[in-house]
Amino acid sequence: MILKVCGITNQGDADAAMGSGATALGFNFYPMSPRYIAPELAATLATPGVLRVGVFVDEAPAEIAQIARIAALDVAQLHGDESPADYPAGMRVWKAARVSEDFDFARMEQCPAEAILLDGPAAQLYGGAGVPFDWRLARGAHRRIIVAGGLDASNVGRAIGLAQPWGVDACSRIESSPGIKDHTKMTEFLLAAQAALRP
């Protein structure tokens, strides 16, 4: 299962996440985000053995590919209005979608991305709004699903139980301030997720 911590901006947070069992780390390359990190800085953060995921919003495929090369990314996580024609060639893609009451899961069945990241409603914020959705809606989807939005140690076990996802992703609710992780909350989140996965 993917255990992802998003909004990584420094080596200390990356080390703490990896030390507590994270299998993927997210770097936000959306310039308007309070968790934005320059590709050149992301490139200096050592993350052996975990997936490096770049968060993008309506970025041109060529620009995504360039940032991916600079920052040594494994996955592009797309949060905007991108169509499959906008996906960067030759890269793994996770397509993010915001789940509202009228969300159409059938629309996601045809999406060519490797996984669908389901996030809560968040107005104009991308990557870290801290709003959950009804996880029951994701159960039974015929896709790899990553649950995001408002997850922390208090609810990730329930989210896993209800959604049966391929992965979980936390950001704002395990921070001390935007872009700075609270290591205790982050560790508790990861340990709770691991506990929920045990038979």
What does the block give as tokens for 103?
């969300």
Whether 58 is catalytic: no
129 touches 28 (CB < 8 A):
no
Q: Which helix (H) or strand (E) holds 14?
A: helix 11-19
Q: Cα(187)–Cα(164) distance, rounded to whole angstroms?
A: 21
Whether 104 is catalytic: no
136 touches 118 (CB < 8 A):
no
Three-state SS at 94: strand
Instruction: Kindly give the interhelix angle for 183-197 and 11-19, rounded to the nearest 10 degrees.
Output: 30
Q: How many whole angstroms from its chain centre is CA 150?
A: 12
Nearest Cα residue to 143 out of 109, 168, 119: 109
Three-state SS at 136: helix
- Let me know the angle formed at the C-alpha of 45 by 16 and 63, rounded to the nearest 5 degrees: 130
Q: Which of 119, 152, 169, 171 is catalytic?
A: 119
Q: Which of 6, 13, 152, 171 is catalytic?
A: 6
Active site residues: 6, 119
